[in-house]
């Protein structure tokens, strides 16, 4: 962060700590609820900054709200998401080794086929959560 000429301020700490306490991708309004006194414009600005710095990752669910979570290098493990098509809830879920191995092969093949420089992947399992069923 400092290496980018940026400060790790109180507002940014609030954002990071609020995200950490959720343990799943949070919307901006959830974030503002979990960080009292934080201005919306500051939250958006810092989410962008933190995202560029690689601290935070933007997640897209089933609805149109942007969701954010701590990047894998800060939150711990590589993981995927389960998305509810009804209410938009997003939860974290594990990444089994067998699946990751199959993904690695696919990525290799896809990179060659499309000329993309592939840096990561996102897997979302979509369905309906317990309360929407």
**Footprint of its own copies on this chain (CB under 8 A)?**
60-61, 64, 66, 82, 84-85, 91, 93-94, 96, 98-99, 101-103, 105-107, 109-111, 113-130, 133
| x/- map, 7-46, DNA, by CB under 7 A | xxxxxx--------------xx--------xxxxxx-xxx
The SS3 assignment for 115 reads coil
Number of shown-chain residues binding DNA (CB under 7 A): 25
List the structure tokens of 47: 């989410």
Compute the least distance from the CB of residue 122 to DNA, in Å: 17
User: Which of 58, 37, 36 has its CA nearest to residue 47?
Assistant: 58
Give the relative orientation of helices 40-52 and 10-22 as an angle to the nearest 10 degrees.
Answer: 80
Q: Which of 109, 113, 75 shows the shortest CA–CA distance to 95?
A: 75
Which of 1, 4, 5 minimizes the C-alpha distance to 15? Answer: 1
The one segment of 6-14, 76-84, 89-97, 110-118 that binds DNA by CB under 7 A: 6-14
What are the residues binding DNA (CB under 7 A)?
2, 5-12, 27-28, 37-42, 44-46, 48-49, 64-66
């Amino acid at each position: 962060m400092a290496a980018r000429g940026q400060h790790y301020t109180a507002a940014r700490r609030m954002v990071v700590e609020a995200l950490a306490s959720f343990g799943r991708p949070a919307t901006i309004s959830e974030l503002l609820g979990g960080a009292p006194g934080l201005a919306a414009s500051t939250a958006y600005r810092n989410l962008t900054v933190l995202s560029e710095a690689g601290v935070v990752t933007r997640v897209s669910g089933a609805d149109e709200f942007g969701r954010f979570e701590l990047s894998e290098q800060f939150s711990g493990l590589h993981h995927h998401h389960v998305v509810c098509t009804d209410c938009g809830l997003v939860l974290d879920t594990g990444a089994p080794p067998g699946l990751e191995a199959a993904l690695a092969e696919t990525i290799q093949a896809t990179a060659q086929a499309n000329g993309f420089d592939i840096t990561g992947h996102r897997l979302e399992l979509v369905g309906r959560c317990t309360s929407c069923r």
